[in-house]
């Protein structure tokens, strides 16, 4: 049996403009304070996340957790703490298809190869951005030493501080 709670009539004033008057606010506060359901909800969301409180466990338990595709028992490639999880996740997905296509039990892509090209592309982006800054500064006739101090160039100076964050 599903139980629903309706808002008390005192919580609305019927004003079509939707204006919140002092009287309306007083009525809303009184209705809130007089409702044990509202107090229960307030206590729940102040101690837990809204996602946890709003979770409908019946839906979670009713969900079918079977899979239509069964994968072989193959080990994942451990990235340890190298910060390359995006690359390992992608390569592990590609590895499954490559193993099937090549009809081999063990197969692994080279993470070092991809990391090399990723770093090379990032370095290229960094150098292209620096060249653009120099080109713009030269074009507008600004002394490069003073150009770096200008607020408009500060965004590009970030490149010099942390090029790995590109």
Catalytic residue check, 85: yes
- Using CA atoms, how far apart are residues 133 and 128, in angstroms rounded to an integer? 9
Alpha-carbon distances, residue 40 vs 7, 17, 83, 101 (angstroms): 15, 31, 42, 57
Active-site residue among 10, 85, 89, 120? 85
Tokens of 91: 């390569």
Q: Which residues contact 27 (CB under 8 A, 6 or more apart)?
A: 10, 11, 13
DSSP string computed for 37-98: HHHHHHHHHHHS-HHHHH--HHHHHHS----S------PPPP-TTSS-HHHHHHHHHHHHHH
| Catalytic residue positions, numbered | 85
């Amino acid at each position: 049996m599903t139980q629903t709670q309706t808002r008390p009539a005192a919580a609305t004033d019927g004003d079509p403009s939707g204006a919140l008057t002092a009287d309306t606010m007083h009525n809303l506060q009184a209705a809130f304070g007089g409702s044990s359901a509202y107090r229960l909800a307030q206590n729940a969301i102040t101690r837990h996340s809204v996602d946890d409180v709003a979770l409908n466990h019946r839906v979670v338990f009713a969900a079918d957790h079977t899979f239509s595709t069964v994968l072989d028992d193959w080990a994942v490639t451990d990235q340890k703490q190298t910060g390359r999880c995006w690359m390992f996740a992608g390569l592990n997905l590609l590895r499954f298809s490559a193993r099937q296509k090549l009809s081999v039990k063990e197969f692994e892509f080279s993470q070092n190869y991809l990391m090399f090209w990723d770093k090379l592309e990032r370095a290229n982006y960094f150098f292209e951005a620096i060249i653009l800054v120099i080109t713009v500064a030269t074009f507008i006739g600004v002394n490069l030493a003073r150009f770096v101090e200008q607020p408009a160039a500060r965004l590009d100076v970030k490149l010099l501080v942390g090029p790995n964050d590109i």
